[in-house]
Structure 1
Amino acid sequence: MRYGQFAADMGDGAARLFQRAVSTPVEDELEHKQAWIRLALLVLISTYATVASIIVAPEHRIEPWAIAVLSYFACYTPLALGLLYNVRRYPGHYPARRLFSMANDYAGLAFAIIAGCVVMLPVYAIIMWVTVGNGLRFGSRYMIVAAIMAQITLATITLLTPYWQANPPLVVTLSLTALIVPLYIRTLQRSTEQARRDAEEANTAKSRFLAQASHDLRQPVHAIGLFLNSLTQTGLAPEQRGIVDRIDRSLQGVAELFRSLLDISTLDSGAVTPKLEPVSIGQLFRLLEQQNQVSAEWAGIDLRFVQSDRVVLADKALLLTMLQNLVSNAIKYAPRGPVLIGCRPRGEYVSIWVVDCGPGIAAEHLPRLFDEFYQIRKLGSADTQGVGLGLSIVRRLGALMDFDAEVRSRPGHGTAVAIHGLVAAAAAVPQVVDRDNSYAAPLHDLRVLLVEDDIDVLDATAHLLRSWGAQVAAWSIAPPQAQPCDLIVTDFDIGGGMTGADCIALHRHVSPPPMAIVMTGHDEMAIEEIIADAGVLILKKPVQPAELRSAIAALRSRQERLPTG
């Protein structure tokens, strides 16, 4: 029984040896480079053996030992080429391939030293290079294996070389060097790995803090924004309305900051996975216009969108976030001037440009604009809201979809930022029918089920919806059963172990099923995956009243276009 178990374990170990283990692109690239370096070393050692033989030989000719080395390496070259092809054709961490290549490397070096004796002693340096190189490339386990193989190689050379047998101090020195150097490097590796783990843990903690802080602070900011909108409908005097407008502007700046912090923390977590699909540029431009209309009016900006019927392959939410950051920057840094947003075909690709007529950016700042937290600060210049994350988010989101971001600017002439590499798609995207009166239409016929566990947000949202004429049933917890309603407006986390997805699922079997909007401070892409319903709109808190009203209008327009009967 014990023998059977031992055999089974040995069989499993052998199977794992030939299986592909997890590897990184950097590790694959290092193994590919190692295969090329192996070929270069074959040429280098062969050249050294030839030249050394001619110099040392009394008759200045290639001696038999050099011919033997050259013959061995000539036979080894096809194997080295095969390893290079295999690494390129089958990238990944294959332990058997790495061990096989290491064993052959040490065998070739041992043969060269045994054949050339004293003349080929400098090849020992390459033995050290192979030992240290495998450990630095592939980790501590390979460092240990390489150190053991190096000791076996030196022992073999000693047994087969009389000169080494006659010089024990030389053998001991070389053996200790081949043992101490890898051990010392292993110690440094462990310190470096620990420092890297500490840095990663600190970065993860930072991301968690940013995500939690931005999520928790979004809730009161969201409530304040809704209450401010309700306050404007109470017959304020012009002076009072002006004060409320200023508060609202400051609040939107805070909301934009939280949005950037949440976006960067989500990217740091590695949880963003793009889903490429046909996206209408025209629809994106309409969404951008709705989201930035108020901010543009405050800044005195004339937003000009060059409408397009082009369709590209992209993740709609991620591309919208990229463009929103670019438009926000243009509004923030180029006030009192027009901003043009349009697209330009480039062969099979499409580029989207955001062009402003602001003060422009000096050339020395352009290379660092995409760095996190980088801002151009001049003594005496006016303060601007933000922490310098917008363009960093643009570049990182673009990298996920293989898009490139470019900035062109001339001081005094404005700035142009482009997103390149969007692949044109042939598939048609249903166009949303714009209704001029969709926003202004009353909601007297709309029954709204409002679910929000924060009492302040619940009261503010209910007051806002009722001011639009809707019939609102407000719940601070998930209702125990389906409620008669036309629209569900719910937070995602609603307490009692329930989520907005549960609330929506409770009403899916109602005929007709109600429309649904989820307002959340979490990452909207993660919420979309949980809800798994393309008909549900996800709005990221804090939500502006105009954004909520537009979302309701879009849902009603979509519902009206659905076939009946």
Structure 2
Amino acid sequence: MEKNSELDQATLRLTVSACALLYIVVLAGLDPGAAKRYAPIIIYIVTFICASVFLRMAIKRWPGHFFWRRLFAMVHDYTGIAFAMVLGGEGALPIYAALLWVTLGNGMRFGSRYLALATVIALSTLVLIFWLNPFWHTQPYMFLMLIVTTIVVPAYAHILLKRTRIASEEAIAANQEKSRFLAQASHDLRQPIHSIGLFTACLRDARLGLEELRLVDNIDRSLHTVSQLFRSILDIYTLDHGKWVPQADTVHLGALLQDVVKQNTEAARWAGVELRLRACPYWVNVNPGMLTTMVQNLLSNALKYAPGQPVLIGVRRQGKGLAVVIYDKGRGIASEHLPEVFKEFYRVRHVRDKDVEGLGLGLSIVKRISQLLNVDIHIRSIVGQGTKVAISGLEQAAPRTSAPRVSGARDRLNGLRVCLVEDDANVLMATSALLEKWGCDVQGHSDGEGLSSDCDIVIADFDLGTKVSGAECIAAIRAQRGWEVPALVITGHDIERIRQSLQNMNVSVLAKPVRPPELRAVLLEQLKAMDRQGEAPTKSSSEPD
């Protein structure tokens, strides 16, 4: 929400006028003989405060930039100051500080234009005070000092404002340039990481010896670490720039957790961890991408710091809500470290910690996402016994459809006709090779313009150059086929932005780099949906042998 500077100015006006009233009352009390002289000032300041209250109410009721209202507020302020200084004489001299405050306050809050206008009105006010009060006729040098101060201080403030504005504009430009660079670098870095992961999966399925398989396993493990670090850095950047806006959806919590477990099967095998997931029949109202990121980061921590030990993931009822709980039997966290673990780059140091990959960003990301989702994150840990982490406050929802169940859907991808559209040659080659290893019939295209296909499913990169996008390719094939062909978009851009742009197209979206198990799981889900709807023409039914 944009800050209402005019409302702040009105609040401060009431505060300063109350202090001025208190000062005049004290003066009247210290000099009872001059009480009659101060009485009109007290009455005026009380009236001034009442008028200021109504002015503040108007500003709150009708916020916005209204020049004449701001001009009225300035005249209102300077009139009160002039009245007090004319009637108060020498004793009211400290009220000059309020005149200087009004001048600087208008400039600092509303800009150089209002600073210049306030300075002109302030100088006119001082001339009026000098003309109406004989005391100032006997103090010409003091009055000159006030005039000079009223000119010099705002002039210096104007210089500072100008420098600040220029620095702010340069910072905004630099930040925009950094955002553009990071967006492009993110896309360009995701491509090779994505293709290497797919090539590695192809090698794993090839007929290799034990030594070669061990090397492939090490490559895959290192790539998994790079992918996690890369995603953590991008998540922090996205959170820092407020680009992650939660949009809730009705999600089957058990299916979401099962997907996370599937995506971490290989990482768990490397760590010697047995992942145990308790079945969950509940539905929740939450942003699925953000909740997945939270669970993924917590599970990643458990795999790092509890190697060789089982990790349990479950869901518990908590009042009217639900909590996702992750238990591990790792080394635990000492109580003095618990308040610090959610800070960026903070890591609890132990012997051989240099062997544990990571930047210390995972829990920081979890904490910040929990604030966006309005859920709580709690950690309980005992050194030597393990750690329990709970994401609580999830809002339970009514099922949108019947809960996922294992049906007679095909559990293999043999014969699935895939239209693959990808403009990066290496990614196209790697994805095609992997899909063919899984038994798919792949129709590869490096350009989506004028595309035609009789496929069962479309897999498209979102960004295909300047002529056509992945979404347009999917729409063209659906229009050509006359039915809503299942589709999957894989993107190297901001996944939340892409999801929002495709929310009316009923397509799945994955972010590069995609892990092969993640890709396979999405394709199998698409197959199950096609079988349930009876919309998937198989090769045997649509083509003669």
- The TM-score normalised by the length of structure 2 is 0.88
1:281–1:312 CA contact under 8 A, matched in 2: yes
- Find the counterpart in structure 1 of residue 127 from structure 2: 155
**Matched residue type, 2:456:** D
Pair 1:483-2:453 in alignment: yes
Q: Quote the sequence identity (%).
A: 41
For residues 310 and 77 of structure 1, do their structure 2 counterparts lie closer, same or farther at Cα, with a shift above 3 Å needed? farther
- Find the counterpart in structure 2 of residue 460 from structure 1: 430
C-alpha separation in 1, matches of 2:435 and 2:354:
38
Report deviation, 1:297.
Answer: 2.2
Q: Secondary structure at the match of 2:205?
A: coil
Report deviation, 1:177.
Answer: 0.8
**Where does structure 2 lack aligned partners over 5 or more consecutive residues?**
537-545
Q: Secondary structure at the match of 1:117?
A: helix
C-alpha separation in 2, matches of 1:195 and 1:348:
50
Pair 1:217-2:192 in alignment: no
Identify the range of structure 1 (170-179 vs 34-43) with the bigger mean alpha-carbon deviation: 34-43
- Find the counterpart in structure 2 of residue 46 from structure 1: 21
2:285–2:397 CA contact under 8 A, matched in 1: no
Report deviation, 1:357.
Answer: 3.3
Report deviation, 1:112.
Answer: 1.1
Pair 1:507-2:477 in alignment: yes
1:521–1:541 CA contact under 8 A, matched in 2: yes
For residues 79 and 304 of structure 1, do their structure 2 counterparts lie closer, same or farther at Cα, with a shift above 3 Å needed? farther
Q: 2:493 aligns with which of 519, 522, 543?
A: 522
Report deviation, 1:432.
Answer: 5.1
- Find the counterpart in structure 2 of residue 382 from structure 1: 354
1:151–1:178 CA contact under 8 A, matched in 2: yes
Q: 1:280 aligns with which of 249, 252, 259?
A: 252
- Mapping of residues 154-553 of structure 1, within 5 Å: 154-362=126-334, 365-377=337-349, 381-422=353-394, 424-431=395-402, 433-435=404-406, 441-478=411-448, 480-495=450-465, 497-509=467-479, 510-553=481-524
Give the aligned length.
535
**Matched residue type, 1:317:** G
For residues 343 and 205 of structure 1, do their structure 2 counterparts lie closer, same or farther at Cα, with a shift above 3 Å needed? farther
**Matched residue type, 1:528:** R
C-alpha separation in 1, matches of 2:249 and 2:484:
26
Q: 1:129 aligns with which of 101, 107, 117?
A: 101
2:449–2:468 CA contact under 8 A, matched in 1: no
C-alpha separation in 1, matches of 2:271 and 2:129:
79
Report deviation, 1:209.
Answer: 3.3
**Where does structure 1 lack aligned partners over 5 or more consecutive residues?**
1-23
Report deviation, 1:465.
Answer: 1.4
Report deviation, 1:304.
Answer: 3.4
1:404–1:421 CA contact under 8 A, matched in 2: yes
**Matched residue type, 1:492:** F
Q: Secondary structure at the match of 1:450?
A: strand
Report deviation, 1:31.
Answer: 4.7
C-alpha separation in 1, matches of 2:316 and 2:83:
63
2:255–2:404 CA contact under 8 A, matched in 1: no
C-alpha separation in 2, matches of 1:31 and 1:94:
10
- Find the counterpart in structure 2 of residue 11 from structure 1: none
Report deviation, 1:554.
Answer: 0.6
Report deviation, 1:504.
Answer: 0.3
C-alpha separation in 2, matches of 1:365 and 1:194:
42
For residues 180 and 254 of structure 1, do their structure 2 counterparts lie closer, same or farther at Cα, with a shift above 3 Å needed? same
Report deviation, 1:106.
Answer: 2.0
C-alpha separation in 2, matches of 1:406 and 1:155:
65
- Find the counterpart in structure 2 of residue 112 from structure 1: 84
Q: Secondary structure at the match of 1:546?
A: helix
Report deviation, 1:223.
Answer: 1.6
Report deviation, 1:484.
Answer: 0.6
C-alpha separation in 1, matches of 2:352 and 2:369:
33
Q: Deviations over 1:195-227 (max 9, x none)?
A: 344444444444433332232122122222212
C-alpha separation in 2, matches of 1:85 and 1:304:
59
Report deviation, 1:425.
Answer: 4.8
For residues 200 and 242 of structure 1, do their structure 2 counterparts lie closer, same or farther at Cα, with a shift above 3 Å needed? same
C-alpha separation in 2, matches of 1:94 and 1:332:
58
C-alpha separation in 2, matches of 1:471 and 1:85:
70
Report deviation, 1:364.
Answer: 5.3
C-alpha separation in 1, matches of 2:170 and 2:110:
21
For residues 49 and 479 of structure 1, do their structure 2 counterparts lie closer, same or farther at Cα, with a shift above 3 Å needed? closer
Report deviation, 1:122.
Answer: 0.9
Q: Secondary structure at the match of 2:478?
A: coil
Root mean square deviation, CA, Å: 3.0
1:314–1:401 CA contact under 8 A, matched in 2: yes
Report deviation, 1:501.
Answer: 1.0
Q: Secondary structure at the match of 1:382?
A: helix
**Matched residue type, 1:129:** W
C-alpha separation in 2, matches of 1:194 and 1:253:
42
Report deviation, 1:411.
Answer: 4.0
Report deviation, 1:550.
Answer: 0.6
Q: Secondary structure at the match of 1:513?
A: coil
For residues 506 and 94 of structure 1, do their structure 2 counterparts lie closer, same or farther at Cα, with a shift above 3 Å needed? same
- Find the counterpart in structure 1 of residue 542 from structure 2: none
Report deviation, 1:488.
Answer: 0.8
For residues 349 and 207 of structure 1, do their structure 2 counterparts lie closer, same or farther at Cα, with a shift above 3 Å needed? farther
**Matched residue type, 2:406:** R
2:321–2:396 CA contact under 8 A, matched in 1: no
Report deviation, 1:346.
Answer: 4.8
Identify the range of structure 1 (136-145 vs 491-500) with the bigger mean alpha-carbon deviation: 136-145
- Find the counterpart in structure 1 of residue 73 from structure 2: 101
For residues 232 and 381 of structure 1, do their structure 2 counterparts lie closer, same or farther at Cα, with a shift above 3 Å needed? closer
2:252–2:403 CA contact under 8 A, matched in 1: no
- The TM-score normalised by the length of structure 1 is 0.85
For residues 311 and 190 of structure 1, do their structure 2 counterparts lie closer, same or farther at Cα, with a shift above 3 Å needed? farther
- Find the counterpart in structure 2 of residue 12 from structure 1: none
Report deviation, 1:62.
Answer: 5.8
- Find the counterpart in structure 2 of residue 9 from structure 1: none
Q: Secondary structure at the match of 1:330?
A: helix
Report deviation, 1:345.
Answer: 4.8
1:262–1:523 CA contact under 8 A, matched in 2: no
Q: Deviations over 1:474-514 (max 9, x none)?
A: 12222624211101112222346222112101112213332
- Find the counterpart in structure 2 of residue 81 from structure 1: 53
Identify the range of structure 1 (40-49 vs 468-477) with the bigger mean alpha-carbon deviation: 40-49
Report deviation, 1:343.
Answer: 4.4
For residues 369 and 127 of structure 1, do their structure 2 counterparts lie closer, same or farther at Cα, with a shift above 3 Å needed? farther
